[in-house]
Structure 1
Amino acid sequence: MQKFFVLLILALIALACGGGEDAPSEAPAKKEAAAQEIDVKKIWKIRCIACHGLYGDMGTNGAANLQEVTSSLEDRIKIITNGSENGVMTAFGEILSEEEIEAMAKYTMSFNEDL
């Protein structure tokens, strides 16, 4: 029974980090996001927290420690849109709207404001 739960947790982490396909029902939400206020914390909890953690420093599955990353807003937007060059992070360009991606990139910059 314990092995089942460990496998279940690992599968959930893999899916949360982008291992799963986007459900067709999410496509309309992407188009409507531009008209709505973007809730970056909600997106973070759904899409990012499993690998980056609550404060951006967890590093599960090789995720970057966002408290130490000093890349520009433009670079962060590219990584969120296209995924990381090393293939660790999945691309969100077809999952999130451009506005959501920009908002998320700005949000990730808040993790290292004290540096």
Structure 2
Amino acid sequence: MKQTLAFLLIATFVYACGSSDTPEETSGAQQATTATSQADGKKIYKQYCVTCHGLYGDMGASGAFNLTTSELPVADRIVVITKGRGAMTPFENLLDADEIAAVAEYTLELKK
């Protein structure tokens, strides 16, 4: 119970501190950024995924799968990120398809 409450508090904090959709705040930084999908995926991963999966993908908080040992191909990772799995939150309403694909690609780099 305490772990669930802690997770919810951390997830709420991470979500509240995330980027907003207001044009004033997003136009300058996002339009100026010409980074590759890999850089965007890493940034998005750090914003949304590190709470459970950890910085290196092996934390396993709240039952999160160890991404360093995952054998899922990119297409399956996209489905898991989009729809969620088990206790994992679905991100289809938080991220667009390109962002989800970028995170899925980045998670491949976490494999040992």
- Cα deviations by residue, 1:40-63 (Å, 9 ceiling, x for unpaired): 222112101010001000000000
TM normalised by structure 1 equals 0.68
Which secondary structure state, in structure 1, belongs to the residue aligned with residue 109 of structure 2? helix
2:62 alignment counterpart? 61
Closer, same or farther: CA 26–61 of 1 in aligned 2, 3 Å: farther
Q: Which runs of 5+ in 2 are unaligned?
A: none
Q: Which runs of 5+ in 1 are unaligned?
A: 1-5
Percent identical residues: 41
Q: Residue 14 of structure 1: CA displacement?
A: 3.5
Closer, same or farther: CA 15–54 of 1 in aligned 2, 3 Å: same
Across the two proteins, how many residue pairs are aligned to each other? 98
How many Å separate the matches in 1 of 2:102 and 2:21?
A: 18
1:13 has 2:7 as partner: no
Superposition misfits of 4+ residues, deviation over 3 angstroms: 25-29, 35-38
Give the CA RMSD over aligned residues.
3.1
Contact 1:13 1:51 in 2 (8 A): no
TM normalised by structure 2 equals 0.70
Closer, same or farther: CA 89–14 of 1 in aligned 2, 3 Å: same
How many Å separate the matches in 2 of 1:16 and 1:74?
A: 29
Contact 2:41 2:104 in 1 (8 A): no
How many Å separate the matches in 1 of 2:92 and 2:52?
A: 18
